Amino acid sequence: MGQPIHQVPAAIRRQLVIRSANFTLYGDLSARINTILRAAVPRVESYSIDECFLDLDGIRDREALVWELRARVERWTGIPNGIGIGSTKTLAKLANHVAKSAQRKPGSYPDAYAGVADLASLSPAVLVDVLAATPVGEVWGVGRRWSDKLQAQGIHTALQLRDAPRGQVLQDFGVTLARTQRELAGLACMGLEDVEPDRQQIMVSRSFGARVYDHDAVREALVSFAVRACEKLRQRNLVASAVGIFASTDAFDREAIQHHPQRAANLPGATSDSRLVAATVAQLSRRFLKQGLAYKKAGVWLMDLARPVDLQPELFGPATAGNERLMEVVDAINRRHGRGAIGLGATGWQSTPHWGMRQEHLSPRFTTAFSDLPVAYC
């Protein structure tokens, strides 16, 4: 639940299996689950790395289908999962919370909801009981701040939020929570986004494994992040017109002088060419850091993203800058021979740069690298 490992008592830590974050692994398993779901129903929105919305409209025996889907996902991927059904996205998310809680915390909701909870089939009176048993902070779209503010106004449960005066919610919290309120009442305000919208920005940032006093190393890190960001950009067939950088000293070090500089600049044109972005980042990073300070985190973000076809072209020149075909070749080489097989000198080229992440508990890439497959001896 996001608790730093050093806060966990040693006695408990010894009973745990500790893993560093491994987004390649999570992303691959997520894609496999998506494939299973998309094969089963026509409209699926991949909402996050571990959540999907499915349109169950027009499906005759949806209870049977979702129980089968739940079992199939677990059987084919090993990932335990739960399913919630509701007439709006907010109610479906709430149903999912019910399904999970009923399974994990006996007594929180009726046992019948464990694993799969169908709020859409409940009578209004029973739905009221479920909403009354759900703390307002568990509602999708209600975070820490609003949860506190709502409770200060005497609104503690999802039911109380649903039934609160509409004008008051609109005035005190804005249109976002007013929508959530209507969704709780069964009025759909959010559609199923089964076509993923284009990104508006792409960010690559890392906390360093240690404090970095060597500012050349921080600049190398920034250029490396720029190159990685461009790879992501090209994967999505987008170009960027502006780039920003930031760096940060160790915010947890109370003694240290803090410095959180950030800067942005326009690129020489809309581009996804790593060389142009890297050069701009290198420029931006000159006289960027404060002498003598150590930095703990840095990042690069790309802005003003667009599809090349949507750009207003120059009258006498191309719409985009950079060399598209060269980048295609670079990507192809790195795909074939592994990331980092070819790249820019300004990224440093050390096998273990001293700004690297701490990943001493990294799990193997079981599903994406032949070299990481377990070996069976006979």
Sorted by sequence, the CB contacts under 8 Å of residue 372 that are 6+ apart come out as 364, 365, 366
Q: Is 174 in the site for DNA (CB under 7 A)?
A: yes
Among 75, 260, 335, 358, binds DNA (CB under 7 A): 358
Q: Is 287 in the site for DNA (CB under 7 A)?
A: no
**Least distance in Å: CB of 102 to DNA?**
18
C-alpha distances in angstroms, 210 versus 195, 224, 298? Answer: 40, 17, 12
Q: Is 49 in the site for DNA (CB under 7 A)?
A: yes
**Least distance in Å: CB of 172 to DNA?**
11
Compute how many residues bind DNA; rule: CB under 7 A.
42
C-alpha distances in angstroms, 286 versus 7, 209, 223, 281, 338? Answer: 38, 23, 12, 9, 31
Binding residues for DNA restricted to 8-27, rule: CB under 7 A: 21
Binding residues for DNA restricted to 70-109, rule: CB under 7 A: 93
- Which one, of 336, 334, 356, lies nearest residue 224 by Cα? 356
370 DSSP assignment: G
Among 18, 61, 107, 252, binds DNA (CB under 7 A): 252
**Least distance in Å: CB of 93 to DNA?**
6
Q: Is 175 in the site for DNA (CB under 7 A)?
A: yes
Asked if 222 and 209 touch (Cβ cutoff 8 Å), the reply is no
Interaction pattern, residues 195-234, with DNA; x per rule: CB under 7 A: --x-xxxxxxxxx--xx-------------x------x--
C-alpha distances in angstroms, 284 versus 98, 126, 226, 245, 343? Answer: 49, 59, 12, 8, 20
Q: Is 50 in the site for DNA (CB under 7 A)?
A: yes
Sorted by sequence, the CB contacts under 8 Å of residue 47 that are 6+ apart come out as 53
Q: Is 357 in the site for DNA (CB under 7 A)?
A: yes
Distance from first CA to last CA of the chain, Å, rounded?
40
Mark the segment that binds DNA (CB under 7 A) among 170-178, 278-286, 307-315, 335-343.
Answer: 170-178
Sorted by sequence, the CB contacts under 8 Å of residue 198 that are 6+ apart come out as 236, 238, 305, 306, 307
> What's the token pair of residue 172?
């005190």
Nearer to DNA, 14 or 325 (CB): 14
Half-sphere exposure of 245 (CA within 13 A, CB side): 27
Q: Is 158 in the site for DNA (CB under 7 A)?
A: no
Binding residues for DNA restricted to 127-156, rule: CB under 7 A: 140-147
**Least distance in Å: CB of 137 to DNA?**
8
Pairwise CA distance, residues 212 & 265, whole Å: 25
Q: Is 31 in the site for DNA (CB under 7 A)?
A: no
Nearer to DNA, 4 or 107 (CB): 4
> What's the token pair of residue 357?
């992440």
Q: Where are the alpha helices (DSSP H) in the chain?
A: 10-13, 23-40, 62-77, 89-104, 124-132, 144-152, 158-163, 166-173, 175-184, 215-235, 274-284, 324-337
Binding residues for DNA restricted to 294-313, rule: CB under 7 A: 297, 299, 301
**Least distance in Å: CB of 118 to DNA?**
19
Q: Is 112 in the site for DNA (CB under 7 A)?
A: no
Nearer to DNA, 63 or 331 (CB): 331
Nearer to DNA, 65 or 211 (CB): 211
Q: Can you give the binding site for DNA, defined by CB under 7 A?
A: 2, 4, 6, 21, 47-51, 93, 140-147, 174-176, 197, 199-207, 210-211, 225, 232, 252-253, 297, 299, 301, 357-358
